[in-house]
Amino acid sequence: MTYSLGMNTATKLICLAGMSLATALCATTVHADDYAATGNPADLNVTEAIKMKLEGDTSLSRDARSIQVITTDNMVFLKGTVASKDEADKVARYAQTYAGDHQLKSELTVSGR
């Protein structure tokens, strides 16, 4: 299959995972290192929703807005550094909102800055 639209590799993977082209072109905030390529569009949708919520909340630290979110096999993993316990709790609440039936595993580190 040839892609002539100049899409980057991450966008091609999203398309191959079964999502519509329109959705894939809008998914610019999800990066290949943010999710496991299970081929399950539901997993990718969970990751995308959480990442968009985090990136849109300017009250979060820059580190918290860029944590890694990995959704695979009924699990959502949060990895990275946040500024405080309160911020870690807020990130976990956001993730739980979009996780649905997925279990949440937070591996966040509090920097204390």
- DSSP letter for each residue of 93-113: HHHHHHHTTSEEEEEEEE---
Q: How far apart are CA 81 and CA 2, in angstroms?
A: 39
39 pLDDT band (50/70/90 cuts)? low
Contact 44, 19 (CB under 8 A): yes
Q: What percent of the chain has pLDDT over 70?
A: 65
pLDDT at residue 26 above 80?
A: no
Q: Which pLDDT does position 40 carry in this prediction?
A: 80
**pTM to 2 decimal places:** 0.67
**Of 69 and 7, the one with more pLDDT:** 69
Answer whether residue 1 shows pLDDT above 80.
no
What is the 3-class SS of 23-40, one letter each residue? HHHHCCCCCHHHCCCCCC
Could you tell me which residue, 108 or 38, shows the higher pLDDT?
108
Compute the average pLDDT of residues 37-54: 86
| pLDDT of amino acid 33 | 52
CB 99 within 8 A of CB 69: no
Q: Which CATH number fits domain 32-110: 3.40.50, 3.30.450, 3.10.590, 3.30.300?
A: 3.30.300
Helix or strand or coil: residue 92? helix
